[in-house]
Amino acid sequence: MPGNIANSTSQIIERHQLISDQMDKERLTLILKRLDQALKHHIPGDIVEFGCYLGTTSLFIARLLEASTTIRRFHVYDSFEGLPDKTIEDASVAGSDFKAGELKASKRQLIRNFKHAHLKSPLIHKAWFNELKNKDLPNQIAFAFVDSDFYHSIYNSLEMIWPRLSSGGAVIIDDYNRSSLPGATRAVNDFFTASNVRIQHQSNLAIITKP
């Protein structure tokens, strides 16, 4: 196993292709760097991803975990039914874009993509996020990535992640400040409005570190 995870991060991104256009290497670099920090600082807990789709980001998270000298469980959560219905909080100039059922991928496809990449599959949880039970979540989370697109999906994700996130751990939310998906920004701002935390915004990602 490589002794320097930071070097492994850049090598992993350079060596492997993205399997869909739902992620780019600029955002991926930021995500893996924060995961790398959690690993290097020995933040306790598991790694979670809410909204995995085909595994575009999941595969890179798994590669970095495989390169690490620490053993972490990796959980992914998805309905595998595509996008849910929009609510008023998601209304945008995009109009009919991002319809219910779009971005649908099956659990079988996700597993197949991991096998093709010669990676161990994560712990897969198939459910709408508002249907998840306490037993479906790890007791402690070191790092979380949320790519849930719509207001209630993101808000529900944060309700489950934040109380379990270890001090010093980070949660990253995709599509922050993206005009076509305003529900993402609204969910993050609403959830943290009364919290004494800093929302770092970079490349349409909101990055929040637990005090």
What's the whole-model pTM score? 0.92
Q: What are 158's two structure tokens?
A: 């944060």
pLDDT at residue 96, as a whole number: 59
- When pLDDT is cut at 50, 70 and 90, the band that residue 137 belongs to is very high
Given a cut of 60, is residue 2 above it in pLDDT?
A: no
Over residues 193-204, the pLDDT tens digits come to: 988 899 999 999
Long-range CB contacts (< 8 A, 24+ apart) of 15-23?
A: 16/59, 16/60, 16/63, 16/117, 18/56, 19/54, 19/55, 19/56, 19/59, 19/113, 20/53, 20/54, 20/56, 22/53, 22/54, 22/56, 22/103, 22/147, 23/56, 23/57
**Per-residue CA distances from 33 to 8, 37, 49, 158 (Å):** 10, 6, 15, 21
Percent of the chain with pLDDT over 70: 95
Q: What fold does the segment set 5-9+26-37+45-209 form as a domain?
A: Rossmann fold (3.40.50)
* Nearest-angstrom CA–CA distance, 39 and 34: 9
Asked whether 11 and 49 are in contact (CB, 8 A), the reply is no
